[in-house]
Structure 1
């Protein structure tokens, strides 16, 4: 009798425990585990983005870099173009000074800034011709530098827009491959490395 009473008490106390276990299992089945991916959200591929960035940079230097969100490149572009233009203007002024002095000497005047004390020329006529050639060459080089920075600006905006859309993902997967040959029903084993670039 005592054993029967113990069995009855055990069953009475065990039933609520079983009921709690089944309820907790029910709750676990209903809940869903949502894990947010820590990778950066993929941008949609825009095939016109590189040409748009190049067009913006061609219209206004640095605007394509702003479109690509590479703001640190804009001061470099303006420094390069501005330096080329500055030295072009300076060499053009020097060229005009040397040319005007040489023209005045050919006309017989001795009052140019390079003549010296008035009796003898501090800088000879040949040296004025060389100075004109040197200033013309420097003027051309500085113009080429300014144009090169402008073209590099356009090319950089285009290439950067291309590379910005290139997906470099750390998601490399290595999956075993198992296929059954349908003719002789023999298994074919293989290993595949899949690299997804999109």
Structure 2
């Protein structure tokens, strides 16, 4: 009986060795792609959709402000807000136009007043404006000229600030994970409209 069990045991060991050898040979014949598929474990992919966001550039606001300081409207072009460029030049052009016009009128009144002080009576405002009127006109035109210059400088500074702030806001992360939305709903029970505010915060 002992010899019989030993014979059966050796027979099973030989069969297993043959099977192992055969499987090894067959695996050598398989392509590498099939071997990789057998070895790899199934990968579980999360169903959450990952949104691709542009990398934050801390120097973008400074660049936009610098470009607008060199050439008004260039910072807006850097931010992609091309529709703002005509507004920038219209504002600056208006301020420059009024400055030039007031400066021209101021020089006319000043030259006429100087000729009267010199004893001439052939200026263009003769018999229409008095000496006091010319002095008052000089004050008004000079004040308007300085105000126009101040407005022009303010528009230039506002152009730089707009480019800087716009570059900040363009990189601000806005998505549905954090949102604050107003809503209006009519209740079906009493048929009364109700106004509310919804805050969504998701992880």
Pair in the same fold by TM > 0.5: yes
Match of residue 58 from structure 1 = 69
| Structure 1 residues 38 and 78: alpha-carbon distance in aligned structure 2, compared to 1, 3 A threshold | farther
Match of residue 176 from structure 2 = 170
Deviations 1:121-175 (A, max 9, x none): 22100000000000000000111111111000000100010111000110259xx
Match of residue 141 from structure 1 = 147
TM-score (norm 1): 0.65
Q: Find the partner of 2:92 among 81, 91, 96.
A: 81
Consecutive unaligned residues of structure 2, counting only runs of 5 or more, are: 1-41, 180-199
Consecutive unaligned residues of structure 1, counting only runs of 5 or more, are: 1-29, 116-120, 174-192
Match of residue 124 from structure 2 = 113
Q: Give the Cα–Cα distance (whole angstroms) in 2 for the partners of residues 46 and 151 of structure 1.
A: 23
| Structure 1 residues 102 and 172: alpha-carbon distance in aligned structure 2, compared to 1, 3 A threshold | closer
Match of residue 42 from structure 1 = 53
Q: After the TM superposition, which parts of structure 1 deviate over 6 Å for at least 4 consecutive aligned residues?
A: 32-36
Other structure's SS at 2:55 match: coil
Match of residue 94 from structure 1 = 105
Q: Give the Cα–Cα distance (whole angstroms) in 1 for the partners of residues 178 and 112 of structure 2.
A: 72
Alpha carbons 2:64, 2:79 under 8 Å: kept: yes
Alpha carbons 2:61, 2:167 under 8 Å: kept: yes
